[in-house]
Structure 1
Amino acid sequence: MLWLKAFHIIAVVCWFAGLFYLPRLFVYHVQTLDDAGHERFVVMARKLYRGIMWPSLVLTVVLGFALLVVQWPAWQGQGWLHAKLVLVLALIIYHLACGHYRVQLAERRCQKSHVFFRFFNEAPVLALVAIVILVVVKPF
């Protein structure tokens, strides 16, 4: 049980590293005007998204599901857990949105500004704060 939890936390940290960094790359990518800079950001975003974020997301979900299965009788009916799972689902949708914007930026079709991506970048921070409070404090 503790090994599952430890590896789940490691996967979450890796996933969040990508969720924090990729939208920041988008800010810089949108502001880049030269072809060499554009190609650099395309490669960086692709490697981050495919090589770090997707594997981390998959491990986070698989290990989280394993923890649910192991602990289900004790966690059944816990409101904090349901709220956390809703936030995790929202983060998965955010992750997919990052993939969508990554492709748009690579194809030079993105109409979003650097200001949009600066605000977009804050969503995982808010989710992380809420999830940590839910898991540690268990307010309901």
Structure 2
Amino acid sequence: MTDFLFILYPWIKSLHIMAVISWMAGLFYLPRLYVYHVENAGSVEGASAIFETMELKLLQVIMRPAMIVSWVCGLILVMTPGIVDWGYVWPWTKGASVIAMTWFHHWLALRRKDFLAGRNSLTGRQFRMMNEVPTILMVIIVVSVVVKF
């Protein structure tokens, strides 16, 4: 099994990186869609339905599959012997940040349900501020993995 993981390692790592890029793109774009939804949907008839469709497709077609592939490939990489030294801090900071990013993904999905139910209470400014969350988590993850402190 160890030999098999070593053979697959560069392929799994490549897939992991591609999935993370896709997931991050969605995490950056969805809060921006919410800003536009809050600030512009009321001014054009039918715009709210268009935003809701865009948000749904982004969540279900891009973000959810990318998150799942990121997690699966990441866990396979972690199980590959010799890749992670748990005596360092970086695997723990990366892991905590990935869990936080997953929580943020689900928080965004709940905000979509608020829009659908007509009970969104957040402003465009608040969604703009939330748009910084994935950036902060990305910085922590990249520095953790590259610097390996």
TM over 0.5: yes
Cα 1:74–1:55, aligned 2, differ >3 Å: closer, same or farther?
closer
Q: Which runs of 5+ in 1 are unaligned?
A: none
CA distance in 1, matches of 2:23, 2:109: 14
Identity of aligned residues (%): 36
In structure 2, what is the Cα distance between the partners aligned to 1:62 and 1:68? 10
For 2:22, the equivalent position in structure 1 comes to 14
Structure number, greater radius of gyration: 2
Q: Once superposed, which parts of structure 1, at least 4 consecutive aligned residues long, lie more than 4 Å away?
A: none
Q: Gaps (5+ residues) in structure 2?
A: 1-8
* Equivalence for 2:93: 83
Q: With structure 2 as the length reference, what TM-score do the two structures score?
A: 0.89
1:96 paired residue number: 106
RMSD: 1.2
Deviation at residue 70 of structure 1 after TM alignment? 0.6
Count matched residues. Answer: 139
Deviations 1:28-54 (A, max 9, x none): 001120341101100000000011000
Q: CA-to-partner distance for each residue in 1:66-120, whole Å, 9 max, x for gaps?
A: 0000136742322101110000000000000000001111222101100100000
Indicate how the Cα distance of structure 1 residues 65 and 72 shifts in structure 2: closer, same or farther if over 3 A, else same: farther
Secondary structure of residue in 1 paired with 2:81? helix
Secondary structure, aligned partner of 1:109: coil
Name which structure has the greater RCO, CA cutoff 8 Å, separation 6+: 1
